[in-house]
Structure 1
């Protein structure tokens, strides 16, 4: 049996509401020489039953005890037979031409290790929002990866297998288990990998035009989730500083400012105006670069946080409708 050109790795953990849509978007790809490796990460709902209802020989299901997203991705990558590895989170989905366009990109640019594209946002019910991720596509530096993360989300990249092999390491407690993502992270595992690939593997990142990923924004949550995300991001910075101290010394403050501004926007999405405003002010205390380089985005963030903090809720919702269609702020 010939190996497929692309292996799609999709972890599944308690996503029964979304997983069918994710699988359907893979099976609808215009490029069909792929395998879909579904990693059952020990969930307790009907997700796996939904996965098994699809009758397609390109689908393989691998089950394991819960390891988290990083561990599930590692398992899927080890199972993969394709030259290219595409990652898809099971609450997201793809446009039909995504795999075809990334394969063309990687086939014609052998120096590129990670190919990615922009993303459209959708709400938790699948309705498309007005916002989108339109990242920098060319001449990506390690600084770009640290400060702006052009890949954007875990469902955007298609990765050359050799790029992953270049940064692989053995699990600390299970020496026979090969890792790509660091399984000690339950958040920020993506950016940790991208930074390590850029710095230690000298992997080239390059994007292609188009909003090819549909990235789901789930509304609601707690400010504690933002604090946990910031803590995990700080762990990434500490780990990076352990092997590239000069790099973090040079660009760490700017990266922190961008991260805090991003978390302020997440707080706005949750309706936490006061918390968002404090995060934005803290961002500015580290570096003014986000305001200088992206004044419009920074101004909108500050305005939204201020409005949510001080204005009546009904008025804020009316303003939000002109920007997000009354959905979420991403």
Structure 2
């Protein structure tokens, strides 16, 4: 049996799946199986995958479900001692599996190894670096505060852990991975490989851009996971809510500018300030308000021109940086 099972859920991924698979097959660590779950694709995804000849590659086709359903289908097929997932448009650096496996083998108390992430666009060009949070050890509170793993394409996980915490919640896309990471953090330590090894592709039509759905499932996750968390962590709940709404403001205002998303961002911002009033004293609040005004008041094409002209003044990346990741004291 292979030591690692890699699972790729894919739905209509003809444009990127070949490159994603290549980034897995080109790993320096070779003892793995690659399980592709074809989630009812209607394009040429299956033809592209079938053209790749490698004995480690296994393809299974199912009727269309969703990302969580496909991940669970992959888990049911996996035979490795360790499990990793990668979305069908993301990429790994060649040393990803080797470095994460080494980290887990050297830290038997850890159940999850994660690396750092860079963001790329649809053409594969660098957009920006990820948060690059440095953390290892007991992680329950920190994972409740924020998903520092950053994507479902990142961690390597002991297969035994899934037997204890169960499968992905199929009602929670596009945030089912954060829910899983919290459940794992409640039982296992996390270990960091301090290197960028995941390239996460941002696409305009990706599931993570559905901000209303993201809000709905995020609030449910926070309620459910704090419902099971110990009393010692309950004081963090308002910070978790504040963090999530900061992230939602950022996602709502990502380009391209759309008036309805700008209006939604106003509501998200109100909640972000409600749970973290300190935000009102930060300079970023004026950048956010400027960006909202441009997106809401101008037609999309003019809004894009205006945003390009005031790029620095309307840059709201700091909003993501202000997401709290450290455990504050209950009195703070």
Give the TM-score taking structure 2 as reference length.
Answer: 0.83
Q: Equivalent residue for 2:265?
A: 276
The corresponding residue for 2:7 is 9
Matches within 5 A, 1:70-149: 70-149=68-147
Alpha-carbon distance in structure 2 between the residues aligned to 1:243 and 1:130: 35
Rounded Cα–Cα distance in structure 2 between residues aligned with 1:40 and 1:303 = 45
Q: Please name the residue that 2:24 is paired with.
A: 26
Match of 1:166, SS?
helix
- Of 166, 174, 182 in structure 2, the residue corresponding to residue 187 of structure 1 is 174
Cα–Cα, structure 1 residues 259 and 73, in superposed 2: closer, same or farther, change >3 Å? same
| Distance across 1 between alignment mates of 2:314 and 2:196 | 19
Q: Deviations over 1:172-210 (max 9, x none)?
A: xxxxxxxx11122232111111122223xx111122111
Structure-1 residue corresponding to 2:244: 259
Give the direction of change, closer, same or farther, for the CA distance of 1:46–1:161 in structure 2 (3 Å limit). same
Decide which of 300, 311, 315 is 1:320's aligned counterpart. 311
**Could you say if the C-alpha distance between residues 123 and 223 of structure 1 is closer, same or farther in structure 2, counting changes exceeding 3 Å?**
closer
Contact 1:274–1:308 (Cα < 8 Å) also in 2:
no
SS of 1:196 mapped into structure 2: helix
Query: Does residue 1:307 correspond to 2:290, yes or no?
Result: yes
**RMSD of aligned Cα (Å):** 2.7
1:250 is aligned to 2:239: no
How big is the shift at 1:69? 1.0
Once residues 245 and 167 of structure 1 are traced to their aligned partners in structure 2, the CA distance between those partners, rounded to angstroms, is 17
1:103-122 Cα deviation digits (max 9, x unpaired): 11111111110100110000
The residue correspondences of 1:117-266 to structure 2 (distance < 5 A) are 117-168=115-166, 180-199=167-186, 202-219=187-204, 225-244=210-229, 246=231, 249-266=234-251
Tell me which residue corresponds to 1:171.
none
Contact 2:104 2:191 in 1 (8 A): no
- 109-118 or 270-279, which deviates more: 270-279
Cα deviation for residue 223 of structure 1 reads 11
Structure 2 runs not aligned, ≥5 long: 295-302, 322-332
Moved more, 138-147 or 100-109: 138-147
Question: Kindly tell me: are residues 222 and 13 of structure 1, through their superposed partners in 2, closer, same or farther at Cα, counting changes over 3 Å?
Answer: closer
In the alignment, is the contact (CA less than 8 A) between 2:35 and 2:57 conserved in 1?
yes
Aligned equivalents of 2:18 and 2:147: distance in 1? 28
SS of the equivalent of 1:228 reads helix
Alignment CA distance shift 1:124-1:140 (3 Å): farther
TM-score, length-scaled by structure 1: 0.84
Contact 1:241 1:247 survives alignment (8 Å) = no
Shift of the 313–182 alpha-carbon distance from structure 1 to 2, 3 Å rule, reads: closer
1:286 pairs with 2:275: yes
Runs of at least 4 residues of structure 1 off by over 4 A? 220-224, 321-324
The answer as to whether partners of 1:307 and 1:316 remain within 8 angstroms in 2 is no
Checking the alignment, whether the CA contact within 8 Å between 1:113 and 1:159 is kept in structure 2 is: yes
Q: How many residues align?
A: 305
